Amino acid sequence: MPKTSVEAERAYRDDRFSARGVFTSDRSKVVCGYFEPDQFITVHAPDSDVTVVVQAGRGIVRDGDEEHAVEPGAVVSVPAGRDRGVRADGKRLEAVLVTAPPPTDAEHEPVRKGLENGDFEP
């Protein structure tokens, strides 16, 4: 198992959120996510569970029809098949995201399209 830290992986992008993969297997995927203010992961509903653990900053985690305001220490889990998304709320946001099983490329297509179009909710 690799050892790293949120600090060691820290990388921001001007054009969209940054996802730094730290572990992937057939059963799970772990990424450190770095969001500038108002950057996001587009709402989508892959067939995998996700847990978001906020390390720094503030944001919103979409869980179906609910939006959870999050801050450091918050943990939000969203079951497979339910709409989910993450958005920084006026400040930088850093979070660890664990998905099980890892989403497929096809399931992430709505995210790619949303990022291209600047749409949090397609």
pLDDT at residue 25 tops 80: yes
pLDDT at residue 110 tops 70: yes
pLDDT at residue 13 tops 70: yes
- Scanning the structure block, which residue is given the tokens 């497979």? 80
Q: Indicate the pTM of the whole model.
A: 0.93
Note whether 69 and 50 are within 8 A (CB): no
Residue 16 has a pLDDT of 95
Residue 122 has a pLDDT of 78
Could you tell me the residue ranges of all domains in the chain? Answer: 27-117
Residue 1 has a pLDDT of 52
pLDDT at residue 93 tops 90: yes
Q: Which fold has domain 27-117?
A: Jelly Rolls (2.60.120)
Mean pLDDT over 2-28 rounds to 95
